[in-house]
Structure 1
Amino acid sequence: MQSQNKQLRAYTLEDGLPQSQVYALTLDAKGYLWLGTQGGGLARFDGSDFKVFNKTHGLASNYIHAIKASNDTLFLGTQKGISVKVKDVFYNIKTPQVNEILKFGHTVYALTDNGLYKLINGISVEKVKLHSVINNSQINDLVFDGNYFWVATNNGLWKLSALNSEAKTIEQLDHNDYIDLAILDAKIFASTFNYGTLVIETQNFEDAYLIRTPLRINSISIQNSNQLWIATDNEGVSVVDTETFKVLFTIKNTNGLSTSDVREVLSDQHGNIWIGTSGGGLYKYFQNSFKHYNIETGLNGNRIYAVHHNENGLWVSNSEAGLMKIDPMGIHDVELPEAFSQVKIKSITSDKNGNIWAGSDGKGLVFKGKVLSDSIAIDTLKKSKKRIPIERLKTKIFNTENGFPFDWIRTIHTENDTVWAATYSNGIVKFSYDPELDDITIYRTYSSLEGLEDVYIMDMTKDDDGRLWYATKNGHLGYLKENRITHLGLALDQDISINSIVVQNSTVFLGTAGNGVWWSNDTNFSVFKKLKGTKNLTSENVYQLIFDDQGYLWIGSEKGVDKVELSKDYDINDVFFFGRNDGFLGIETCLNAVDKDHKGHLWFGAINGLTEYQPTDISLNLKKPKLFLEDVKVAYKSIDTINLSLWSNSDKVLRLNPNQNQVSFSFKSIDVNHPNGIEYRYKLNDNDWSLWSTNNTQDFSELNYGAHKFITQSRNYRWIESEPTRFSFFIEKPLYKKTWFQWLIIGITVLIFVFSILQYVKRLKNKNRKEQERLQLENHLLTLEQKALRLQMNPHFIFNVLNGIKAMAPTKPEKMNDTVNSFATLLRETLVNSRKDKIGLDQEIKTLKHYIEVERLMAEESFEYDIILNTDLDVEEILIPPMLIQPFVENAIRHGILKGPRKGKLKVQFDTTDEILKVAIEDNGIGIYNSQQQKPKTDHQSMALKVTRERLESISGKDALKINETKQKDGTIDGTTIVFKIPLETDY
């Protein structure tokens, strides 16, 4: 214990603490530290910032005496009663002043100035009836040892078997004013204000032991497993061994606290112990490997410019206050000439004889050492003289006033009797000094004339090969060996200051101003590589470089120091950062003010003092950080209806309406030691993780409808990752986008469409039926009309034929018999066909031939005719309406051929395709239009052609019939051609 350095970090009003009197401390499950003050209300601390709650936020009183955290609820004991904090809302319950709040099982108890109360449903209280004396006493503390309740009151110490008036055991053990209780194993520690601390074996009260000091006790607690920390109002904190009851050490105003009035002590999960004081604010106590020196511990100033260790001790220069020496006897001022009393000493070293060399700003070099001088001693008996060497101190200044070339010394290096001094802007001087003869010999000055291209030296060091390396402000690097300069130029190919240089195992490391650390170990050091790896340095501004005895590289910066673990290939395996919260209280290190002593301890000079690092086996806290959701906002409003700690990592799903597609998350991990070292990452659903960053909020807008899962994770400054925290939510689709609604709309649309189609089909069917009925009626009427026309035609035809036969009797008796026979056959076929809708083409051709023969027999001059059939089909299978062709043939014969000047020719041709039957009737008469002009119109002929045309249009559509006159080359009409097409119908 004594080998470890104890450190205190103060938090005061300047850090955001609302009040310097801290009376109550507690930690919640998330890691927040809560402080109750006297007049400043409640404060929450995350290691970096204080968040304050007071009466303006709903707190009943700003004077808080007790705090108890349970899940996300905080119970506060105030002057005016109990305040229950749920999220950011306070519920106040009036009681006498509350001195302590405890929780046993699910019941919360308030220990007041007037008895014990228990909380009912978090909104009211009920006084617990115990012994009549206890009921009216000031109750200060209460503990349970597994069998009995121990109650500390201003009227004595009590032992109860139950917290009610019917307890079988209610025993008053002592009558003193008991302030606080603590329990460890089978021991009860009961402290009074003015009579010490009583140690009681729970099973044997007679073996009680009294710890007589300290007195004036405010509170007690068990810390570090087996230490009793006793807080007093005048002697700070006394730490007592719970086995020997010896005081191990004290913490008070003489060794770190600003006041000795300590009210409360609390330990956290990181091993820190927090001390609440009355008037001095809050302190963090921690044990580490650092020991800090500053003005309060004996230095003349806090800013340390140079550090050097030799066998005589540690030599430091601080502020403008000269030199100081630290050795086992303490801290001592080093006497210097008056000229060096108010000067900045920027470099310290020693030679082989232990003499000190110090370089200054503007005053040159100072030598501080011992020299031997002869003294004559007289031997009175022998009457002789003897020379005796006497050691005496010598101080010598070297500057331009006494022949030294430079006054501004940046850094010094010694080897045997030789000294190298590097200046700010004039290069390097090599010299030696004989203090006994007071003789200085300047061997050489290295400047631009000798090849030192950049004379603004920042640091020098020597390697094992005898090379004296130098680094410059402008980024140049080189070395001196055997009085020759090897200037390597811009080692990093950039104009950036090289602040520090160190050589380890033939590898050169360069610390830069703003670009980290670079290294090279090749033959001619032509290529330098930047030091990097899985972790990054805390800062790129490097002021100090040094290796410890374990091979770790220590890097000083403006933020503290990094302890870097390197691989054999010089990659960064790990980085251990030490700042103010880790015991490195100096914070910003000073340029090259670092050294290692004979014990392997490292000494760092910084702006706020000198820090010693003592390697120990103190283990780092490697616990995973805890990550919790601080807030979930929907449409920029916090969701107050759910408990985030219960919903996180559960199967619960937050259901949102379609308009709530903007969701924000705030998440947090608490590390009171390294609050700024926490980093976070997140992902939504199955997307990739985001990059690690210090941002602990994330906003999502215009989210898709459906299920979502937000996942976040944190890591601490050691890159130890927390368990992922997830939160599930579901954004409902709008009604019009829901599947069932869409299917419903589709179904209704389909039904309407089907209904419309059905109605349309129904109307179409009705229309078609009516049209069909109309067409059938028209067709029937047309058929009747044709039949009637045929019947009308027959008498006229019969009359004509009979007149023709009558005329044949005297002139052509030989044809009369054939004409009568042909006429009889034609009448029979016409009567038969007129009753049918369709007949075979063979039958139509047969009837047509009989008709043409009758006309030929009756004609005065016979004519020729030809019926041509162009088809691959069987003519018996081709169907055709009856009497469709006869009117055109009749018209061709009677009004074309018989009236023409030429011997008549008639051709009827039938052609078929897959779908059409084409009929062509050609004659060589006078032409149809000429014939119509010459003949008188008859109802029979005009009606026959009209009916036949209409029949064709009903069968084949409009323009089914085409009639053209044929002409010769001279324009003379030599006949008529009638063509029509009807759909091909077959009888199969």
Structure 2
Amino acid sequence: MKPKIIYNLFLFFFGIFFGNQYATNAQNKQLQSLTLEDGLPQSQVYAITQDEKGYLWLGTQGGGLARFDGKIFKVYNETNGIASNYINAIQSQNDTLYIGTKRGLSIKLKQKFLNIETPDVNKIYSFKGQMILLTAKGVYSVDKIGVVNKINLDPEIDDFIVNDLIHFDNNFWVATQNGLWKFDGQISSPKHIEKLEKGDFKTIVGFENKMIASTFNDGTIVFDSREFDDQILIREPLRINSATLINNQLWIGTQNDGVSVIDTKSWSENLVLNTSNGLSVPVVKQVFKDKQSNIWIATSGGGLYKYFQNSFKHFNTETGLNGNRVYAVHHSNKAIWISNSEAGLIKIDNYGVHDIDIPEAFSEVKIKTIASDNSGNIWAGSDGRGVLFKGKTIRDSIVIDTILKTTVKLPKEIKVTKVLSTDNGFPFDWIRKIQVSNNVIYAATYSSGIVKFNYSPKIDSLKVYKTYAKADGIEDLYIMDMVKDNENRLWYATKNGHLGYVFNDKVTHLGRILEQNVQINSIVFKNETLYLGTAGKGVWWSNDENFSSFKKLEGVKKGASENIYQLIFDDQDYLWVGTERGVDKLELDKDNIIKDAFFFGRNDGFLGIETCLNAVDKDDNGHLWFGALFGLTEYQPTDIIQDTEKPKLFLEDVKVEFQSIDSLDFSVWTNSKNILKLSPDQKQMSFSFKTVDLDHPNGVEYRYKLNDNDWSPWSKNNIQDLPELNFGAHDFYVQSRNHRWKESEPLKFSFFIESPLHKKPWFQWLLIGVAILVLAFLVYQYIKRLKRRNSEDKKRLELENHLLTLEQKALRLQMNPHFIFNVLNGIKAMAPTKPEKMNETVNSFATLLRETLVNSRKDTISLDQEIKTIRHYIEVERLMVEKPFEYKIDLKTDLDAEEILIPPMLIQPFVENAIRHGILKGPREGELIIEFTNNDDFLKVTIIDNGVGIFSSQQQKPKTDHQSMALTVTKERLESISGANALEMTEIKLKDGSIGGTTIVFKIPLETDY
């Protein structure tokens, strides 16, 4: 008989005798296997324990020791220092791991192993902090420094195999190869030892006032801890390896029949886990419950299994499917229809898993979509083989009444199976999605649009009503999903991100509504809101009247992936999102913001892992069915919310200058007053921290801070380097959170970096004091020498200053000798012919000389006085020169000229230069402009002439000594008054490129007499 038939018969009779609900709950239990492919070093696992940090430790036969954090196995074997790779027992205490091997005891202390030779260790029992070794030759104790001592109990115990020992009800109970023993007193000095029963006893469990002792071949004895004769004998299972009390149930691991779960009230068998329902081998060595309530099963040859009971039920080839890859899921008439791999159709109902008889053409192709009509007929679309119709119809059959000799037509139900393809008139063979609307069938193709049709099984007639393609308005024919809304509109989404709908045979194509070239994989409606699942861009939604704009579905928490393959709402209004990592259960508020997110992956019972495109549906009971790459998963909603404990965080390692500090017990140093003292050259630290979550190792995140700084962002990184730390006291804080965002208590590690000698305050003050004394002495000596030198230089400088002052005043008095000579000769020549002009010239010249003598004695004069002096000078020049010229003095200041003070004789040399060497040599009628402007800080003087240009004039004729000296002294005066670059001299260039004159600009600090 085929295994699937046997399995279905079992489900059928189990459902009849115990009810379907019970059968469903029994199937709800899950087994996840961890083998060599997952990193387990050996498939024979003999021992399991869990340390205080949460790590799961596994002892194997030949593969050594393995540490598991829910994701990665870290292996320790003989090359790491362990005594033997064949491990029978493990026990954890604080930071120390005791390992029983075939060569004795190995004690793991941080990264080192201490090996002690003893007989083969079968089990390690912890009693009041002391480790007791149960070996092939009696019992041994291990003290705190690792010294092993033999405990002499009885000759029949001391040289025989001891399998188990416990302390219960003030007595010690010992299970050996030749019997069950009991004694009181201290374990090192037993009293009243007695043998209770012969036989090969493997394990002992104390429960309430009962003792449970299991043998290898004779079953299990249950008796009162104070009255051995009052016994209950559990005859099965036999060949027992271990027994563990979990949740008031006795989990018994056997040699040839997996695990039996015994109810401790009725002492009847509740559950069997063996090769017929999940285990790959029948040999179970140990069953262990961890701190997260997971149950782990250690097998010999099948590796490690994780057992859990939850709301998921999984179907695969081991439970009746023809293949594990589920492409399509559909609920119809109290049954689930699926297509799995390229192996036809499967129906699942209360009677089990059934193969569906289909034509050979459909038995080896991918069936990508399944739908049903109002009559319960099944429609399935395939890759390259068209559409399969599987249903029934009523046809008349002719019956002949031999007595009455009449012919009667009676209705008869006939099963019909029909393939609709291009071979028999159907337009397309590649079908992505089928939707049924009012008994009209719509089939979305891979690249040819949508076809509307119907098939009548009664008359075997196919009718194609219409094909919607580009000519009808569907711009992108690569359709990914198709769904009907409450208004009977048929919506479609495409590979290139287009969206549209068909209503009353008219196509409304909305185009690329997300404004990006992203594939839309799935569509779902909830009330009046449309949700879109995309390939790589998450979920989008819109509740606009015309769905013109979409928003991304976001919140504080996010889903596990942005690659969306499935979307469906359950009866509690949770949005379920299928991805390549499992499924997310999203809780949305009224504004479509994610309030909470629950992820279900392999460690949570969703064993299918990667979901398949749109292979999801909901049945009449509100159960969700997900098709995935590794099987079919049913979700049964429940109101039970499992509260997650706070994650436990610990420091794995602390490094100083890249060297681990193995001498510290980090559990003592964290969150304490202990401070690690570091030398001045130890300025680099590295912290390694860890939270072990066996269920969701990828969901753990960490953050840290140093001293009173802000917390870092949450990250999966569990190592933090701190280079170039400052000297002084520091506090390093770290915190973790799990996949539900529950945060651990922060850990604090304090350390202090000593300052170097030159950084210590007392040493720095000493250096400062010495430096001040030395500096004061040097300053005193310098001042002393400086005073002596200054007394000598003072007289010399005063004399030089006096001479310089006289020289400057003399220069102010100087006027061009040629000018004076020319004036005098001019006056002489005017005497006979122009006596009136001679008088004017003499008067102007006399006024100019008087003003020059008066002004030269003053440090500053008013701008008004300076302008008068310049006017007199220009008038004398105009009277003396043969070439006439015009001049203009323009005062553009917001201050009165009498209030502004300037040094005397500062402008005259530039005016003289402009007349003599510019205007008089120029080809044009002379024009001279002198302009005064000011701002809050400076008085600006501009002198413009239209002569030959200052640089051209200098090239034509060398300067006179007087001119050169006057300009040089004037420039020096300007630099002393206004600083460097106070004077600007530029030539004016005309449009034809010739020189049109000179502009001289300088500024002096603005000074007023108030």
Q: How high is the TM-score relative to the length of structure 1?
A: 0.75
Corresponding position of 2:170: 147
Supply the distance in 1 between the matched residues of 2:631 and 2:578 (Cα, whole angstroms): 14
Ranges in structure 1 where 5+ consecutive residues have no aligned partner: 769-988
What is the 5 A alignment of 1:826-905?
Answer: none
> How far apart, CA to CA, are the structure 2 residues paired with 1:278 and 1:337?
44
CA pair 618-137 structure 1, distance change in 2 beyond 3 A: farther
Q: Which moved more, 1:121-130 or 1:685-694?
A: 121-130
User: In 2, Cα distance between the equivalents of 1:333 and 1:112?
Assistant: 54
Instruction: Output the amino acid matched with 1:534.
Output: V
The Cα shift of 1:699 comes to: 0.5
**Aligned-pair CA distance for 1:618:** 4.5
CA positional deviation for 1:57: 1.0
Instruction: Provide closer, same or farther for how the CA distance between residues 743 and 347 of structure 1 changes in structure 2, counting only shifts above 3 A.
Output: same
Q: Deviations over 1:195-223 (max 9, x none)?
A: 11111222322322221111111111111
Kept after mapping to 2: 8 A contact 1:47/1:672: yes
Query: Structure 1 residues 376 and 758 mapped into 2: Cα distance closer, same or farther (>3 Å)?
Result: closer
* Aligned twin of 1:668: 690
Partner of 2:238: 215
Distance in 2 (alpha carbons) for counterparts of 1:618 and 1:229? 25
Structure 2 equivalent of residue 117 of structure 1: 140
Supply the distance in 1 between the matched residues of 2:577 and 2:111 (Cα, whole angstroms). Answer: 44
Q: 1:776-801: per-residue Cα shift (whole Å, max 9, x none)?
A: xxxxxxxxxxxxxxxxxxxxxxxxxx
Does residue 485 (structure 1) correspond to residue 500 (structure 2)? The answer is: no
Which of 578, 582, 602 is equivalent to 1:580? Answer: 602
Q: State how far apart, in whole Å, the 2-side matches of 1:455 and 1:265 are.
A: 56
Corresponding residue for residue 244 of structure 1? 266
Per-residue deviation, 1:584: 1.1
- What is the match of residue 890 of structure 1? none
Segments of 5+ residues of structure 2 without an aligned counterpart are 1-21, 789-1010
Give 1:740's aligned amino acid: W
Aligned equivalents of 1:302, 1:230: Cα separation in 2 = 31
Distance of 2:298 and 2:145 partners within structure 1: 28
Are positions 1:105 and 2:128 aligned together?
A: yes
Per-residue CA distance 1:117-140 (angstroms, 9 max, x = gap): 111232311222333433333221
1:527 aligned partner: 549
Matches within 5 A, 1:151-300: 151-164=174-187, 166-223=189-246, 225-300=247-322
Maintained 8 Å contact 2:334/2:619: no
The alpha-carbon deviation at position 60 of structure 1 amounts to 1.2
Q: 2:78 aligned with 1:23, yes or no?
A: no
Q: Is residue 408 from structure 1 mapped to residue 430 from structure 2 by the alignment?
A: yes
CA deviation after TM superposition for structure 1 residue 386, in Å: 2.1
Distance 1:151 1:300 in 2: 50
CA distance in 2, matches of 1:758, 1:617: 88
Q: Is the 8 A contact 1:84 1:122 kept in 2?
A: no
Distance 1:251 1:617 in 2: 27
Q: Secondary structure at the match of 2:185?
A: coil
Residue 62 of structure 1 and its aligned partner are, at CA, apart by 1.4
- Counterpart of 1:93, as a letter, is I
Q: Is the 8 A contact 1:129 1:164 kept in 2?
A: no
> Is 2:88 the counterpart of 1:62?
no
Distance 2:376 2:39 in 1: 49
For the residue of structure 2 that corresponds to 1:401, the secondary structure is: helix
State the distance in 1 between where 2:193 and 2:561 align.
Answer: 63
User: SS of the residue aligned with 1:378?
Assistant: strand
Task: Give the secondary-structure state (helix, strand or coil) at the position aligned to 1:485.
Answer: strand
Question: Quick check: 1:46 aligned with 2:74?
Answer: no
Tell me: CA distance 1:166–1:593, structure 2 relative to 1, closer, same or farther (3 Å).
Answer: closer
Instruction: Please name the residue that 2:617 is paired with.
Output: 595
Give secondary structure in 1 for the equivalent of 2:704: strand
Question: Does structure 2 retain, via aligned residues, the 8 Å contact 1:188–1:201?
Answer: yes
Structure 1 segments of 4+ aligned residues over 6 angstroms from their partners: 751-754, 757-761
2:113 corresponds to: 90
Q: Distance in 1 between matches of 2:367 and 2:766?
A: 89
The SS at the match of 1:169 is strand
Output one character per residue of 1:106-162: Cα deviation in whole Å (capped at 9) or x when no partner: 322111222221112323112223334333332211111141111112232122212
TM-score by length of 2: 0.74
**CA–CA distance in 2 between the matches of 1:598 and 1:315?**
14
Query: Deviation per CA, 1:462-483, whole angstroms, max 9, x where unpaired?
Result: 1111211111111011111122
CA–CA separation in structure 2 for the residues paired with 1:93 and 1:654: 33
Quote how far apart the aligned CAs of 1:245 are: 0.6
C-alpha distance in structure 1 between counterparts of 2:72 and 2:636, whole Å? 31
Following the alignment from structure 1 to structure 2, what is the Cα–Cα distance between the partners of residues 590 and 201?
A: 56
1:605 aligns with 2:614: no
Q: Distance in 1 between matches of 2:187 and 2:505?
A: 93
Preserved contact between residue 270 and residue 621 of structure 1 (Cα < 8 Å)? no
Distance 1:197 1:759, change over 3 A: same
Once the two structures are overlaid, the 10-residue window that deviates more, 318-327 or 61-70, is: 318-327
Q: Percent identity?
A: 60
Aligned-partner residue type, residue 720 of structure 1: K
Q: Which residue of 1 aligns with 2:671?
A: 649
Matched position secondary structure for 2:577: strand
Separation in 2, partners of 1:434, 1:396: 10
- Structure 2 residue aligned with 1:79: 102
Q: Deviations over 1:915-963 (max 9, x none)?
A: xxxxxxxxxxxxxxxxxxxxxxxxxxxxxxxxxxxxxxxxxxxxxxxxx
Query: Does residue 10 of the first structure (1) align with residue 21 of the second (2)?
Result: no
Shift of the 609–764 alpha-carbon distance from structure 1 to 2, 3 Å rule, reads closer
Contact 2:439–2:454 (Cα < 8 Å) also in 1: yes
Deviation per CA, 1:473-517: give whole Å up to 9, x if none.
110111111222111111111111100000111100000011000
Q: Please name the residue that 2:329 is paired with.
A: 307
Task: Specify the code of the residue in structure 1 equivalent to 2:68.
Answer: F
Task: For 1:17, give the aligned amino acid.
Answer: L
Q: Which moved more, 1:693-702 or 1:439-448?
A: 439-448
CA deviations 1:882-907 (Å, max 9, x no partner) are xxxxxxxxxxxxxxxxxxxxxxxxxx
Pairwise CA distance, 1:527: 0.8
What amino acid sits opposite 2:143 in the alignment? Answer: I
Which residue does the alignment assign to 2:982? none
**2: distance between equivalents of 1:206 and 1:19?**
43
Query: Is the contact between residue 290 and residue 611 of structure 1 (CA under 8 Å) also seen in structure 2?
Result: yes
Question: Which residue number in structure 2 is paired with residue 351 of structure 1?
Answer: 373
Q: 2:818 — aligned with what?
A: none
SS of residue in 2 equivalent to 1:218: strand
CA displacement, residues 612-644 of structure 1 (integer Å, 9 cap, x when unaligned) = 112234542511111111111111110112111
CA-CA distance at 1:760 after TM superposition = 7.5
Q: How far apart in 2 are the matches of 1:753 and 1:340?
A: 103
Structure 1 letter corresponding to 2:300: S
Q: Counterparts in 2 of 1:434-833, with a 5 A limit?
A: 434-749=456-771
Instruction: Give the CA deviation at 1:78.
Output: 1.3
Note closer, same or farther for the CA distance 1:482–1:726 as it changes in structure 2 (3 Å cut): same
Task: Give the secondary-structure state (helix, strand or coil) at the position aligned to 2:540.
Answer: strand
How far apart are the structure 2 equivalents of 1:121 and 1:513?
59
Structure 1, residues 383-422: CA drift from partner, whole Å, max 9, x if none? 3332110000112222222222211111011122211111
Contact residue 545 and residue 556 of structure 1 kept, 8 A: yes
Give the match's secondary structure for 2:398: strand
Deviation of the 1:701 alpha carbon: 0.5
The C-alpha deviation readout for 1:14-54, integer Å capped at 9, x for no partner, is: 21111111111100001100011111111101111111111
**What's the offset of the Cα at 1:323?**
1.4
The answer to whether the 8 A contact 1:567-1:573 is kept is yes
Tell me if the contact between 1:417 and 1:433 (Cα under 8 Å) persists in the aligned partners.
no
> Counterpart of 1:161 in 2: which secondary structure?
strand
1:554 counterpart SS class: strand
Q: 1:607 to 1:165 in 2, by over 3 A?
A: closer
User: What amino acid does structure 2 have at the position aligned with 1:154?
Assistant: Q
Deviations along 1:60-100, one digit per CA (max 9) or x if unpaired, are 11111111101110011112221110001001111111111
Q: How many residues align?
A: 764
Q: In the TM superposition, what whole-angstrom CA distance separates every residue of 1:698-723 from its partner, at most 9, and x where no partner exists?
A: 11101111111111111111111111
Contact in 1 for aligned 2:334/2:620 (Cα 8 Å):
no
